[in-house]
Amino acid sequence: MTYSRYGLRKQRENTNALYSSKLEDRGIKKLTHYTAPKFFVLTDEVIATIDVQFVYWNISTRFYKLAAEYYGDPTLWWVIAYFNKKPTDFHAKIGELIYVPTQWEVVYNAIIEGDEKFE
């Protein structure tokens, strides 16, 4: 089964004059872009309702490994990273306390709540 991370993203057509030379070079009239998701800041009220597990970051810790261990799905790594305000593994420091939300669905829904793909 082929899975695309863009499967649920909306697409937009771009005919902007800024890209006219590229469009002309490629012999096309428009570019099609995937829309970017809109992530929202988690409010203090939402954060207060979420139970977390505590993990100390070490040399072999990775967000995808934590997601696989706690959620059974390594593709949910970004939920943990977003909750901790760490865009990538490299933003975490050895010995740092990482919060792993036990109910990933609550965090997920709070983040994507206003995303137009779900309206």
pLDDT digits (tens, 9 = 90+) for 45-78: 878 888 999 999 999 999 999 999 999 999 999 9
pLDDT at 117: 42
Instruction: Decide: 32 and 6 in contact? Cβ < 8 Å.
Output: no
Read off the pLDDT band of 8 (50, 70, 90).
low
Give the position of tokens 């082929």: 2
Quick check: helix, strand or coil at residue 31? Answer: strand
Read off the pLDDT band of 15 (50, 70, 90).
confident
What's the chain's average pLDDT? 84
- Residues paired with 31 in a beta bridge: 14
pLDDT at 97: 97
Maximum average pLDDT range among 15-19, 39-43, 100-104: 100-104
Q: Give yes or no for residue 116 having a pLDDT over 60.
A: no
Q: Give yes or no for residue 83 having a pLDDT over 70.
A: yes
Contacts of residue 110, Cβ cutoff 8 Å, sequence gap at least 6: 40, 42, 43, 46
Query: What's the rounded Cα separation, in Å, for the pair 5 and 37?
Result: 11
